[in-house]
Amino acid sequence: MILTAGLSPAWQRIMVFDEFTPGEVNRASEVVHCASGKVLNVAIGLKTLGADVHCLSPVGDDPATAIRQEFAELEIPACWIETTSKTRTCITVLDQSHHKTTELVENAEPITTQELDSWVTHFHQLARRSSLIVISGSLPAGAPATLFADILRQHKLPSVLDIRREELLSALPHHPLVIKPNREELEQTVGRSLPHRDDLVAAAEELRSAGAEWVVVTDGPNPVTIIGPEERSVIPVPTAKTVVNPIGCGDSLTAGITAAMNEGRSILEAVKWGIACSAQNLESLLPARLDREQMIERASHLTVERLA
């Protein structure tokens, strides 16, 4: 079983406009709602790829009912920590005329010490039954920056981390299997700008030296960089045929990498899966609703380029 754990879920409202003009009254041509946020997206992506997954996340107020219902419909096992604070709602604005996406993001509200303790307790219980752990997303206000490091210390399981800054740095000594920052998150974590590929590779090497086995860095439409033991490579990202909604592409990539690693595939094959999942997500309205057969077909056409 793969455990996906996080503390910043979201209820997503996706609003599609034929044309969107800031400062004016705009009427949506379509509106859909879905469970989202990194922790939920990764769980959904893994489930749709055929993985045995269990999700751990807090939920609260009205969005909690809708999120529970959607996960039940998708048949994804989940442990929900009920909170007094409301699960955040994030809004995606898709401007079809100008091919632009605007994301309006609510920060996760604080949760109580008792609720956080319950999340930690359930994490330990579920981790004992898991073969691999995925931790993704930001911490709610008031949670200690070392929380993820503290819980990983107690489990000698392979982990995939999609976190950043101090949360990531403090977790590195516990030797995560894969960390997956994008360029911006990597810059935030190492505390400096990374304008060139050599800079990005050097920063990835720093995080690997600090404890990560593999560092996978995404950079929008630019090649994905893979740094690990005896491996320095990039995999070019295919040009998108159709861009529908970019939200969830990084989470879909995490799901693809995790599913492949859990099946015993190589890191390069895993990153190909992740890139194919991200490309598929880009062409879909709802995030992380993936198709395994389509993903494998796309991944088969990707190539690896070795870095000097």
Q: What is the mean pLDDT of each run of 10 residues along the chain (308 residues)?
A: 97 97 95 97 98 98 96 98 96 94 92 97 97 96 94 94 97 97 96 95 97 97 95 93 92 98 97 98 96 97 93
| Domain range enclosing 250 | 2-306
pLDDT tens sequence across 177-194: 999 999 999 999 999 999
pLDDT tens sequence across 288-301: 999 999 999 999 99
**How would DSSP label each residue in the chain?**
-EEEE-S--EEEEEEEESS--TTS----SEEEEEEESHHHHHHHHHHHTT--EEEEEEEEHHHHHHHHHHHHHTT--EEEEEESSPPPEEEEEEETTTTEEEEE-PPPPP--HHHHHHHHHHHHHHHTT-SEEEEESPPPTTS-TTHHHHHHTT----EEEE--HHHHHHHGGG--SEE--BHHHHHHHHTS---SHHHHHHHHHHHHHTT-SEEEEEETTEEEEEEETTEEEEEPPPPPS--S--TTHHHHHHHHHHHHHHTT--HHHHHHHHHHHHHHHHT-SSTT---HHHHHHHHTT---EE--
Q: What is the CATH number of the domain that holds 66?
A: 3.40.1190.20
The pLDDT > 90 percentage for the chain reads: 95
If one counts every other C-beta atom within 10 angstroms of the C-beta of residue 222, the result is 14
Query: Looking at the 3D structure of the chain, how many domains does it have?
Result: 1
The pLDDT > 70 percentage for the chain reads: 100
Q: Provide the CB-side half-sphere exposure for 39 (13 A, CA).
A: 27
